């Protein structure tokens, strides 16, 4: 896959054919924030000490979204991962979409509903390599097998960045969209397997697990609240 931030990869997976974000809200926004924290953890720029997120020293980060998140963590070392998720999610969607447009990975089309209300769409371009991205996620989840023809052996351990991306599919509300033919229980089991895998080094595994758990928990609470509000 292309060398770009996980948060951009997740956004690309969350864009429908019409260029609209199809992930479940606000879980999708929280998953985007989780992608930022996972990126920092995999880069060994983030640690968890006594369940508190702490920044680690290193070279300056090139991506503004990541650099800004790390700076915020450096200024406030007392927060847990579950506290950072909603804080980092603020305006994150707009920033990531703007980065995708600026990088030529999506277009930007503004229309007006009833000639009054603006509606913006972000159609994915060929430069984004979305088929390759989806194929990598498919291979990680299915292991090359199909639902009608189950795999005989367990699939190989997913590449770390693909595995990190897969761990965010559930919180983002993208599971049924990406794998409509996979039974819900089987999909959940496989995503959990990937999330708990040994694809991260021992040095960063604790931080990765903490971020994954926090993202899932915050997104689940938000989804439950939305269900209650709509009932």
Each residue's pLDDT tens digit, 45-85: 998 888 889 999 999 999 999 999 999 999 987 788 899 99
- Provide CB contacts within 8 A for 182, sequence distance 6+: 141, 142, 147, 190
- So what's the pLDDT on residue 106? 96
pTM (predicted TM-score)? 0.87
Average pLDDT, rounded, for the chain: 85
Length of the chain: 231
Whether the CB-CB separation of 63 and 5 falls below 8 Å is answered with yes
Distances (CA, A) of 231 to 27, 28, 200, 222, 228: 18, 21, 40, 14, 5
């Amino acid at each position: 896959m292309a060398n770009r931030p996980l948060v951009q990869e997740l956004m690309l997976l969350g864009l429908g054919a019409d260029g609209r974000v199809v992930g479940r809200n606000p879980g999708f926004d929280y998953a985007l924030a989780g992608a930022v924290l996972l990126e920092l953890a995999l880069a060994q720029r983030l640690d968890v000490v006594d369940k508190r997120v702490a920044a680690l020293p290193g070279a300056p980060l090139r991506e503004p979204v990541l650099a800004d998140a790390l700076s915020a963590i450096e200024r406030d070392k007392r927060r847990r991962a579950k506290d950072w998720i909603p804080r980092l999610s603020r305006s994150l969607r707009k920033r990531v979409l703007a980065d995708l447009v600026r990088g030529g990975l999506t277009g930007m089309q503004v229309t007006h509903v009833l000639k009054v209300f603006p509606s913006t769409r972000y159609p994915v371009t060929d430069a984004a390599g979305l088929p390759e991205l989806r194929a990598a996620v498919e291979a990680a989840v299915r292991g090359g097998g199909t639902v009608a023809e189950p795999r005989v052996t367990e699939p190989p351990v997913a590449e770390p960045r693909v595995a990190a991306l897969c761990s965010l599919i559930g919180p983002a509300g993208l599971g049924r969209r990406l794998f409509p033919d996979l039974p819900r229980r089987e999909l959940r089991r496989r995503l959990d397997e990937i999330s708990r895998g040994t694809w991260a080094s021992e040095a960063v595994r604790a931080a990765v697990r903490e971020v994954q758990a926090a993202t899932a928990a915050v997104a689940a609470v938000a989804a439950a609240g939305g269900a209650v509000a709509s009932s």
